[in-house]
């Protein structure tokens, strides 16, 4: 074995409670271990602990991380700093935290190498080519801002691998990337592990990605390992609940969110940590189960795996909506748009019926967000015709039009002021658009929060005090209080846990059933299958394909669409392995 981890425990200094507890595993050279779980489960804390690092307010209180017969957690601080890079390396979710915007790529890629410059540059060129990037002088002279998000992430991986570590820890490295870029990054990870004899730990909330890249999976919940093995043979009720929340790109089924919330640091963990949310919980779950091998072949921390195996949760398939025959609420004809005189949208045309959900899909840079901003009136350099509810839209919109056409941003902080409470954020549009104040305004605000399943007691909290999924639902509630006719959702599920994503998708589906029209901007074709009636595919600012979701995803005709479908990942069909 190349990597042996045992008993790793990280404790919160203020409370004395464990953030992660007694985690262990073994990992051979050339293999990838996936680590999955919801936000707050302890994934990132574990990832950093493997480098001998704990965030401010936390302390590593026990355990061993042995790489090449050296226990990193036993090293003095000076030797540990040297080991970071030479023995173990880290790739963060946001490459901007790894790359200095003011330095050239050549400087950043070579500064940590203890080699003569010529040898260092030769190694860097080879690595860049290995991750699918140019290794020439022109590319090495670039700054990070001159690269796409996918290129930045591959440079960050190359920079981590350059010193020759034996273990590389990747923390959500493909979150937010389009499917084609994600596929390239995953192939880079797999190939580097094979060709350079690396062991890798891949942390993610995306189960389809982990199922694709990892040889084995560690499922973490409440700071401890609840299952270790294969997603295709999942035996723990938490793992199976996560899988039931994942959308499929091949069929449309009802997504099942996990009820309740993951435990906080101070929660009672005397028994089974998942018991408060588990449909199979019984009296015996009041004591903590051991992590043992079960008949499916995985290691699971559960007393009731036999009952779980006898109770498969089949996917509830949802029929695709019949073709819409009503009038169009939105018609876009010959739309052109650009930035600073450089054209980015070319003759874009499509229509949207009342009560319909149209998915706008394409890779990063395809023009999706520019298109959305044109529709909502946030983009000035545009020409063409946009007709909304029978009225031709001018670049400047009156108050009623702004109210009827609402935009929900990918980052909920684009909709919510960090300095306003949840209730206050909803009261602002009610006062602006309807002149409502006092009791009636609060009633409408609380009604909208209830609609998106945000408890009333959270109304006085600030966005920073909410989880990511809660913030996104509050952003949707802020749009709903305006009583819009059309909702534009721009990548609003891309960074959410699968369970939270499932809750948001089912919420949006219920709004569609009530007659709201929607444009859903995304690169995730599995989510498209779950929610969209029709699809418009953009490539380099041009519409290359459009039609019903079933036709476009099942039988794409354009080569570009076929490449997107081919690059889309799905989790294994665990329901076939339920027994």
Final residue before a domain boundary, out of 427, 450, 484: 484
pLDDT band at 323; cut points 50, 70, 90: low
| 335-369 residue pLDDT tens | 999 988 889 999 999 999 999 999 999 988 789 98
Final residue before a domain boundary, out of 484, 511, 537: 484
| pLDDT number for residue 148 | 74
Domain count for the chain: 3
Residue 328 sits in the same domain as residue 461: no
| 469-506 residue pLDDT tens | 788 889 999 999 999 999 999 888 877 888 888 888 98
| 152-204 residue pLDDT tens | 888 999 999 889 899 999 988 887 777 887 888 888 888 888 888 899 999 99
User: Please, what is the angle between helix 438-451 and helix 468-480, to 10°?
Assistant: 130
| pLDDT number for residue 351 | 95
| pLDDT number for residue 517 | 95
CB 402 within 8 A of CB 377: yes
Residue 374 sits in the same domain as residue 452: no
Give domain status of residue 155, yes or no: yes
Give domain status of residue 298, yes or no: no
Give domain status of residue 304, yes or no: no
Final residue before a domain boundary, out of 167, 196, 221: 221
CATH of the domain at 526: 3.40.50.300
Q: Quick count: other Cβ atoms within 10 Å of Cβ 490?
A: 22
How far is Cα 521 from Cα 362, in angstroms, rounded to an integer?
A: 9
CB 362 within 8 A of CB 522: no
Give domain status of residue 38, yes or no: yes
How far is Cα 126 from Cα 100, in angstroms, rounded to an integer?
A: 21
Given the DSSP bridges, would you call strands 224-229 and 32-36 parallel, antiparallel or unpaired? unpaired
pLDDT surpassing 60 at residue 575: no
Q: How far is CA 119 from the centre of its chain?
A: 38
Residue 74 sits in the same domain as residue 9: yes
Name the one residue in this structure whose structure tokens are 């990280």.
10
Structure tokens at 61: 């209180």
Residue 31 sits in the same domain as residue 155: yes
| pLDDT number for residue 578 | 40
Residue 438 sits in the same domain as residue 517: no
Contacts of 282 (CB under 8 A, 6+ apart): 303, 304
Contacts of 373 (CB under 8 A, 6+ apart): 379
| pLDDT number for residue 19 | 92
| pLDDT number for residue 361 | 94
| 233-262 residue pLDDT tens | 999 999 999 998 999 888 888 888 898 878
| pLDDT number for residue 494 | 78
Residue 564 sits in the same domain as residue 464: no
pLDDT surpassing 60 at residue 576: no
| 42-57 residue pLDDT tens | 898 999 999 999 989 9
Residue 465 sits in the same domain as residue 557: no
Mean pLDDT of 18-41: 92
Residue 328 sits in the same domain as residue 450: no
| pLDDT number for residue 130 | 84
| 280-302 residue pLDDT tens | 999 999 999 999 999 989 999 99
Give domain status of residue 348, yes or no: yes
Residue 544 sits in the same domain as residue 410: no
- Please give the radius of gyration of the chain, using alpha carbons only, rounded to the nearest integer: 25
Give domain status of residue 508, yes or no: yes
| 395-448 residue pLDDT tens | 778 888 999 999 998 888 778 899 999 999 999 999 999 999 999 999 999 999
Name the one residue in this structure whose structure tokens are 């959500």.
172
Residue 456 sits in the same domain as residue 405: yes
* CA angle in degrees (0–180, nearest 5) for 190-194-198: 90
| pLDDT number for residue 181 | 79
pLDDT surpassing 50 at residue 577: no
Q: Is 320 helix (H, G, I), strand (E, B) or coil?
A: coil
Residue 377 sits in the same domain as residue 407: no
Work out the mean pLDDT of the chain and round it to a whole number.
89
Residue 438 sits in the same domain as residue 511: no
Which range of residues forms the domain containing residue 480? Answer: 397-484
pLDDT surpassing 80 at residue 267: no
- 124 or 145, which is more confident? 124
User: Please, what is the angle between helix 559-567 and helix 179-196, to 10°?
Assistant: 50
């Amino acid at each position: 074995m190349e990597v042996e981890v045992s008993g790793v425990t990280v404790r919160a200094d203020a409370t004395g409670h464990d953030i992660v507890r007694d985690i262990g595993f073994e990992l051979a050279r050339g293999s990838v271990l996936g680590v999955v779980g919801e936000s707050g489960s302890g994934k990132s804390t574990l990832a950093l602990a493997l480098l001998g690092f704990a965030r401010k307010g936390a302390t590593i209180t026990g355990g061993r991380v042995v790489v090449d017969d050296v226990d990193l957690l036993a090293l003095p601080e000076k030797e540990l700093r040297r080991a970071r890079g030479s023995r173990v390396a880290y790739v963060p979710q946001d490459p901007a935290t790894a790359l200095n915007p003011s330095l050239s790529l050549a400087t950043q890629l070579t500064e940590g190498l203890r080699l003569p410059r010529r040898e260092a540059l030769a190694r860097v060129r080879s690595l860049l080519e290995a991750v699918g990037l140019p290794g020439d002088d022109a590319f090495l002279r670039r700054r990070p801002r001159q690269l796409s998000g996918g290129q930045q992430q591959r440079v960050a991986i190359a920079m981590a691998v350059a010193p020759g570590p034996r273990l590389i820890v990747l923390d959500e490295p493909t979150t937010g990337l389009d499917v084609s870029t994600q596929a390239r990054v995953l192939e880079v990870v797999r190939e580097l592990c094979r060709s350079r004899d690396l062991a890798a730990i891949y942390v993610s909330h995306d189960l389809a990605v982990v199922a694709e890249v990892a040889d084995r999976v560690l499922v973490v919940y409440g700071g401890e390992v609840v299952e270790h093995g294969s997603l295709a043979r999942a035996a723990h009720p938490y793992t199976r609940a996560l899988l039931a929340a994942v959308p499929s790109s091949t069929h449309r089924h009802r997504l099942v969110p996990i009820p309740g919330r993951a435990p906080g640091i101070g929660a009672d963990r005397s028994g089974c940590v998942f018991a408060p949310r588990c449909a199979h919980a019984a009296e015996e779950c009041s004591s903590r189960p051991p992590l043992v091998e079960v008949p499916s072949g995985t290691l699971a921390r559960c007393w009731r795996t036999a009952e779980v195996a006898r109770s498969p949760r089949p996917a509830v398939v949802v029929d695709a909506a019949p073709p819409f025959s009503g009038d169009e609420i939105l018609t876009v004809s010959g739309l052109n748009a650009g930035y600073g005189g450089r054209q980015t949208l070319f003759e874009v045309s499509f229509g949207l019926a009342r009560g319909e959900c149209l998915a706008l899909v394409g890779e990063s840079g395809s023009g999706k967000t520019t298109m959305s901003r044109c529709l909502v009136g946030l983009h000035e350099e545009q020409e063409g015709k946009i007709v909304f509810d029978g009225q031709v839209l001018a670049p400047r919109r009156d108050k009623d039009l702004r109210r009827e056409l609402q935009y929900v941003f990918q980052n909920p902080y684009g909709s919510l002021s960090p300095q306003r409470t949840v209730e206050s954020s909803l009261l602002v549009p009610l006062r602006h658009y309807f002149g409502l104040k006092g009791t009636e305004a609060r009633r409408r605000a609380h009604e909208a929060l209830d609609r998106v399943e945000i408890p009333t007691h959270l109304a006085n909290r600030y966005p920073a005090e909410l989880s990511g999924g809660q913030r996104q639902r509050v952003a949707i509630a802020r749009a709903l209080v305006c009583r819009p006719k059309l909702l534009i959702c721009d990548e609003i599920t891309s960074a959410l846990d699968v369970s939270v994503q499932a809750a948001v998708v089912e919420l949006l589906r219920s709004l569609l059933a009530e007659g709201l029209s929607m444009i859903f901007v995304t690169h995730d074709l599995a989510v498209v299958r779950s929610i969209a009636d029709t699809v418009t595919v953009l490539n380099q600012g041009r519409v290359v394909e459009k039609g019903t979701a079933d036709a476009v995803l099942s039988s794409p005709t354009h080569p570009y669409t076929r490449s997107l479908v081919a690059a889309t990942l799905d989790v294994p069909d665990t329901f076939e392995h339920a027994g």
